[in-house]
């Protein structure tokens, strides 16, 4: 089992930046593809970004491409989400998730394919 703890959320002005971190417990972090999702009040939880076990494959939602970057440090059991040029519509709870994947280069973009979830961190972008 994996426990995930997110940090780094907060209040930022439009155009600003934040870096979210998600640290996993256990010794098998490198066995999991990782993803970030977000959920705004009254909306479905949506895919933001994903990274493969090896870190060689990434994918992003169209709404964040060119502004957000996902990365991971397997030695630190941590995945990051660097968020630049933030917009008010990025305001949401951000959730880290881990997925068992069969191959090191595989990523998952569907929330139903993830096995473990963190409790989330709030990001609020003011206009």
CB 15 within 8 A of CB 34: no
Report how far residue 79's alpha carbon sits from residue 36's, in angstroms, rounded to the nearest whole number: 9
pLDDT of residue 27: 72
CB 23 within 8 A of CB 78: yes
Q: pLDDT in tens for each of the 127 residues of the chain?
A: 899 999 999 999 999 999 999 999 977 899 999 999 999 999 999 999 999 999 999 999 999 999 999 999 999 999 999 999 999 999 999 999 999 988 999 999 999 999 999 999 999 999 9
């Amino acid at each position: 089992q994996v426990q995930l703890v997110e940090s780094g959320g907060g209040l930022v002005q439009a155009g600003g930046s934040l870096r979210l971190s998600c640290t996993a417990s256990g010794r098998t972090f490198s066995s999991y593809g990782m993803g970030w999702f977000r959920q705004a009040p009254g909306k479905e939880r949506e895919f933001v970004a994903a990274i493969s076990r090896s870190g060689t494959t990434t994918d992003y939602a169209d709404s964040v491409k060119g502004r957000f970057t996902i990365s991971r440090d397997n030695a630190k059991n941590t995945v990051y989400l660097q968020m630049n040029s933030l917009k008010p519509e990025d305001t949401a709870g951000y959730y880290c998730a881990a997925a068992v994947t069969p191959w090191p280069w595989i990523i998952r973009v569907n929330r139903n394919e993830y096995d473990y979830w963190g409790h989330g961190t709030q990001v609020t972008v003011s206009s």
